C-alpha cells in the first residue's frame, strides 16, 4: 500500500462547537468533562466524529442534540478547520469548528458532566479547545460590530438596557444603551413592539420592549461600529 493510501486510512475528522451564551452577565461556553484518556478530567467542547453521510453542519447539530440535548440554538456557523498534525494524540484528526449561540433567556437541560464556564476564566481544557473557544469569542465580537447577530444572544423581547448588557458581556467592555439603540436603529434591525416591561420595585416609567426585525444573520454595516474604549496612557 502506498504512503498516500496509508495516510488516507488513518486521517480522521471530527466536528466541535463552541456554544456561547450570556449567563448572569458573563459570556459563557458549554463544556463537558472527559471521563477517559487522553486528557481525562479536562474540559472539552461538545462534538464528535463526522458521519460518513453527513455534511459538517448536519453532523454538529446532531451531536449537540444527541449528546447534550441542546436544541435552543439561535445561530450556528462554521468557524475554521484546525489541522495541526499533533493536535490530538494518536491518528491524525482534523476538526471543523463551529460557533453556536444560545439566547440569554434559554436554560438548556444538559447532562451532569456538562456545564457552562466563563470564557474569561476557563478551566483546563483538552487538546486545542481553548484556541477554538477564543476564536469563537473573537468571531462573535467582530460580527456584533457589522451584522445583526445580536438577535442570537437576546430573548425575543427586551429592553435597551438588557440588550446593552448582553452586548457588553460579549464585547468585553461597557457601552451606552443610547448609542447602541442609535446604531441598531440606523441599521434597521430593531423594532418597537409597542409593549413595555413590568415596572421595577423602584417605580418609574416602564421601559419600552424591542425585538430584532430578523432572526437570520445579515451584514448591516461595512465598518465596525463598536470599538473598545481607548486606554489612558497618560502618566
Task: For each of the domains in the chain, give its residue range(s) and CATH number, in order of start.
Answer: 11-129 (3.90.79.10), 148-212 (1.10.10.10)
User: What integer pLDDT is reported at residue 171 of this predicted model?
Assistant: 97
User: What integer pLDDT is reported at residue 221 of this predicted model?
Assistant: 86
| pLDDT tens string 129-173 | 999 999 999 999 999 999 999 999 999 999 999 999 999 999 999
User: What integer pLDDT is reported at residue 199 of this predicted model?
Assistant: 74
- From the number of C-beta atoms within 10 Å of its C-beta (0-12, 13-18, 19+), residue 180 rates as buried
Residue 160 CA to residue 26 CA, distance in Å, equals 17
Given the DSSP bridges, would you call strands 190-196 and 93-101 parallel, antiparallel or unpaired?
Answer: unpaired
Low-confidence ranges of the chain (pLDDT < 50): 1-7, 232-235
Residue 175 CA to residue 100 CA, distance in Å, equals 24
Contacts of 93 (CB under 8 A, 6+ apart): 12, 13, 14, 87
Q: How far apart are the first and last CA of the chain?
A: 68
CA angle at 36 for the pair 33 and 38, rounded to the nearest 5°: 95
Cell, residue 39: 486528557
Given the DSSP bridges, would you call strands 93-101 and 12-23 parallel, antiparallel or unpaired?
Answer: parallel
What is this structure's pTM? 0.91
CA angle at 15 for the pair 11 and 17, rounded to the nearest 5°: 150
Cell, residue 135: 476564536
Amino acid at each position: 500500500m502506498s504512503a498516500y493510501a496509508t495516510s488516507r486510512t488513518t486521517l480522521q475528522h471530527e466536528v466541535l462547537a463552541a456554544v456561547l451564551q450570556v449567563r448572569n452577565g458573563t459570556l459563557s461556553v458549554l463544556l463537558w468533562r472527559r471521563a477517559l484518556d487522553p486528557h481525562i478530567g479536562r474540559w472539552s467542547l461538545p462534538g464528535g466524529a463526522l458521519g460518513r453521510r453527513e455534511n459538517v453542519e448536519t453532523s454538529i447539530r446532531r451531536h449537540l442534540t444527541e449528546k447534550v440535548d441542546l436544541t435552543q440554538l439561535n445561530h450556528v456557523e462554521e468557524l475554521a478547520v484546525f489541522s495541526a498534525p499533533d493536535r490530538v494524540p494518536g491518528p491524525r484528526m482534523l476538526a471543523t469548528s463551529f460557533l453556536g449561540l444560545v439566547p440569554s433567556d434559554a436554560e438548556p437541560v444538559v447532562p451532569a458532566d456538562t456545564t457552562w464556564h466563563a470564557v474569561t476564566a476557563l478551566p483546563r481544557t483538552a487538546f486545542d479547545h481553548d484556541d477554538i473557544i477564543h476564536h469563537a469569542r473573537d468571531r462573535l465580537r467582530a460580527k456584533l460590530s457589522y451584522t445583526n447577530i445580536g438577535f442570537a444572544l437576546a430573548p425575543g423581547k427586551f429592553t435597551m438596557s438588557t440588550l446593552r448588557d448582553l452586548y457588553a458581556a460579549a464585547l468585553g467592555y461597557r457601552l451606552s444603551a443610547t448609542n447602541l439603540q442609535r446604531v441598531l436603529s440606523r441599521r434597521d434591525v430593531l423594532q418597537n413592539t409597542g409593549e413595555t416591561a413590568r415596572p421595577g420595585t423602584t417605580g418609574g416609567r416602564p421601559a419600552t420592549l424591542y425585538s430584532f426585525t430578523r432572526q437570520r444573520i445579515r451584514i448591516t454595516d461595512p465598518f465596525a461600529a463598536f470599538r473598545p474604549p481607548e486606554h489612558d496612557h497618560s502618566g
